[in-house]
Chain A
Amino acid sequence: MSRLLIQGARLLDPASGLDRTGDLLIEAGRIAAIGGDLAGCAEDAETVAAAGLCLAPGLVDMRVQLREPGAEHMESIESGGRAAAAGGVTTMVALPNTEPPVDDVSVVEFLARRAREAKLAKIHTYAAATKGLKGRRLTEMGLLAANGALGFTDGVKAVADALVMRRVLAYARSFDLLVLQHPQEPSLAAAGEVNEGEIATRLGLPAIPAAAEIIMIERDLRLVELTGARYHAAHLSTAAAVEAIRRAKVLGLPVTCDTAPPYFTLNETAIGDYRTFAKLSPPLRGEADRRAVIDGLRDGTIDAIASDHAPWDQDSKRLPFSSAAYGIVGLETLLPLSLELYHNRDLGLLEVISRLTSNPARILRLPVARLAPGAPADLVLFDPDHAWRISTDRFRSKSKNAPFDGRAVRGRVVRTIVDGRTIFRGED
């Protein structure tokens, strides 16, 4: 029986509030013991000297696109799994916008099998809320959930029709299922590509007003009031949306939300002279919105940080801005970019880690992201202060589309462990 003893790490467990130096023993894929000094009770174990490093639950990335099935030349379960491992991600949840889309039990089963074979990070999937992601007919939500779908969403598209959304929520409520929304009113965002304002006007690019986000969220919140369904708003990008969710939580609605690193590390100026790598949906916003997203993360309005990993090949991004695809890869930069919140003193270290681990696990009702005896040994060992520069060339992901190339960051993954197996070991 393989045993692994991690010695002298700063143990961070946001679920219990634990933050102290100590040892952690892994046995048979689970956490066997946590304590000040476990050397005495684990003489035959392989040891990892972890003084100066942090040991936390592995990251739970609640929104990635893996492009398998359908576009494996951009990303696959395998390559995405390697990228996740390198990023300290031990559990990730894929969006259903593959080809074919995840709107059928057979696709859920296919993904589960491929994930088992890859033996990397744990991969779950959401299923489509509507058949073919077309926004009209409901999917077999009950059966899909019974086969492992963790929630229901039309991926990078909003469920636009209010009646359809009401029925999605009402039906989901019958089975106590989670519904996730890409909150952007599509008619108002229509052909838009960048945040409405001076920069869009100067560049002559069609613009998306911030109102496109809040209008969809406010509508959905009313439907949540009607139906009582569990609702999660993805990648908040505006101050108004953060405020709306804050109020909804005060009212006690079953509402959660997340954001992604670009929305608290960049603003619309990153577009510069038509940098397609900074083209996202929702678009990068103004500085006041970026600050509001950080405030939302600090006060807990925004529950989680997801990578919003969106791999695209060169042919999808080396195009005039309007033709280029939306999105950036994020699995391998999720931890260091999130740690900017800690290094900039916006959030405490344990708070940042909670947004990346225990909070998304709670929303998804996954039995992971705890440092407790008996819990799965899904762990990330990282050096929070290690300074380095992001180099997109070195990404394990098949796609390199990120606007962070050359960015100086602090915090590096040293080791990623899933069910006691080391799936990534950083270079020294």
Chain B
Amino acid sequence: MQGSVNAAGFGHRHLLGIEGLSPAEIDRFLDLADGYVELNRQAEKKRALLRGRTIINCFFENSTRTRTSFEVAGKRLGGDVINMAVAVSSMVKGETMIDTAMTLNAMHPDVLVVRHPESGAVQLLSEKVDCAVINAGDGSHEHPTQALLDALTIRRRKGRLDGLLVAICGDVLHSRVARSNIALLNIMGARVRVVAPRTLLPAAIERLGVEVFHDMGRGLAGVDIVMMLRLQSERMHGSFVPSTREYFHFFGLDYEKLRAAKPDALIMHPGPMNRGVEIGSEIADDIDRSLIRHQVEMGVAVRMACLEILTGDLGNRPPLSSPAERGRGRERA
């Protein structure tokens, strides 16, 4: 993954995760995205930066929000965006993920945006293709663009990340959003807490640089930001928590629990929300406290920045395979 620093000042070929990025690299994403926020609010939003470039959204797992966000981002920059829902096409015919990757690679995309239900799968795919790969979520591992858009959202409201106290609440065990945010917030100098019942926390989570709480009152005390996580419906009814009613009672965010946080604490959620499960409806819609809709807006800007940075050295990137190997490939075809 490490390579020479590209024209856009980014030392990586792909964006597979937050872990391994430097504070300066993260700032670069956020600074660039900041500019795109303004562009996206204008009537004329189109740029020609990615004209002639092909971006394939390759989603092995259903997603509407993230895929649409990447699609809008790519099109605003003038790229050609193709959506592929692989879950319902090749995979059911028995084609392996690597076969799919090779097939797409042969179409010479410039960027593959990949989501996959298994941890590590996007990295595996990135090793088999010539283009840049953006991880749009792999299993319970990482979701780097979500962490970047969360960071941008926080930075624009609080003016900084450094020194803030952030509580991440809910299903940390299964959450790639939590892992990417824990990594990013630590890199940028924020303090991170996780708040959840023990059944929703992975072993040794404190080793990732968080303080662990099992009580919302204590976990939210004095925090600047409350990040709620989605609880998947198959985990609500007895497998990880006894019921949605009990979960909301102890771990769902309402005004009562929020009182422990700082008076100006802000609320975030990666969506889609389960109203009445992890977050109360009223609080989710509170325009003074909830940043949830801002997060969606920042998502497009951050993904525009990612596309720009990862295509920054398209002109001079060395090919993955040698010219001789390519020649053989042509003969076979």
Binding site for B on A (CB under 8 A): 196-198, 200-207, 209, 273-274, 315, 318-323
Could you say which residues of chain A place their CB within 8 Å of the CB of B203?
Answer: 196-198, 200-201, 207, 209
Instruction: Assess whether A319 is in contact with B97, with CB atoms less than 8 Å apart.
Output: yes
Shortest Cβ distance from residue A311 to the other chain B in the assembled complex, whole angstroms: 19
Shortest Cβ distance from residue A201 to the other chain B in the assembled complex, whole angstroms: 4
Instruction: Assess whether A201 is in contact with B202, with CB atoms less than 8 Å apart.
Output: yes
The B contact surface, by secondary structure, is mixed
Could you say which residues of chain B place their CB within 8 Å of the CB of A207?
Answer: 202-203
Say yes or no: A204-B179 contact (C-beta < 8 A), given A318-B98, A322-B118: yes
Could you say which residues of chain A place their CB within 8 Å of the CB of B139?
Answer: 204-205, 320, 322
Could you say which residues of chain B place their CB within 8 Å of the CB of A315?
Answer: 96
Alpha-carbon gap, A288 to B118, bound state (A): 29
Instruction: Assess whether B207 is in contact with A205, with CB atoms less than 8 Å apart.
Output: no
- Judged by a CB distance under 8 angstroms, whether B141 is at the interface is yes
Identify 23 residue pairs between A and B in the complex whose beta-carbon atoms are under 8 Å apart, listed by A's number: A197-B203, A200-B202, A200-B203, A201-B202, A201-B203, A201-B204, A202-B179, A203-B120, A204-B119, A204-B138, A204-B140, A204-B141, A204-B176, A205-B119, A205-B141, A207-B202, A207-B203, A274-B120, A318-B98, A319-B97, A320-B116, A320-B118, A321-B121
Give A315's nearest chain B residue, CB to CB.
B96
- Judged by a CB distance under 8 angstroms, whether B142 is at the interface is yes
Instruction: Assess whether B141 is in contact with A201, with CB atoms less than 8 Å apart.
Output: no
* Contact partner, B208, options A201, A274, A318, A321, Cβ 8 Å: A201
Alpha-carbon gap, A319 to B100, bound state (A): 12
Alpha-carbon gap, A273 to B176, bound state (A): 16
Shortest Cβ distance from residue B105 to the other chain A in the assembled complex, whole angstroms: 15
Shortest Cβ distance from residue B90 to the other chain A in the assembled complex, whole angstroms: 15
Give A209's nearest chain B residue, CB to CB.
B203
Could you say which residues of chain B place their CB within 8 Å of the CB of A273?
Answer: 120, 123
Could you say which residues of chain B place their CB within 8 Å of the CB of A204?
Answer: 119-120, 138-142, 176, 179
9 additional A-B residue pairs with CB within 8 Å, beyond A201-B202, A274-B119, A319-B98 = A197-B203, A198-B208, A205-B139, A207-B203, A274-B120, A274-B123, A319-B97, A320-B139, A322-B139
Instruction: Assess whether A198 is in contact with B207, with CB atoms less than 8 Å apart.
Output: yes
Instruction: Assess whether B207 is in contact with A321, with CB atoms less than 8 Å apart.
Output: no
Give per-residue flags for B63-102: 1 if the beta carbon is below 8 A from chain A beta carbons, else 0. 0000000000000000000000000000000001110000
Could you say which residues of chain B place their CB within 8 Å of the CB of A274?
Answer: 119-120, 123-124
Give the one of B141, B142, B176, B202 with max A CB within 10 A: B202
Q: Which 5 residue pairs of A and B lie closest in terms of their CB atoms, listed nearest first? A: A274-B120, A204-B140, A204-B141, A320-B121, A320-B118
Question: Which B residues from 129 to 148 make CB contacts under 8 A with A?
Answer: 138-142
Give A273's nearest chain B residue, CB to CB.
B123
- Judged by a CB distance under 8 angstroms, whether B205 is at the interface is yes
* Contact partner, B96, options A202, A205, A319, A321, Cβ 8 Å: A319
Give A322's nearest chain B residue, CB to CB.
B118
Shortest Cβ distance from residue A190 to the other chain B in the assembled complex, whole angstroms: 11
Could you say which residues of chain B place their CB within 8 Å of the CB of A206?
Answer: 140
Instruction: Assess whether A320 is in contact with B202, with CB atoms less than 8 Å apart.
Output: no
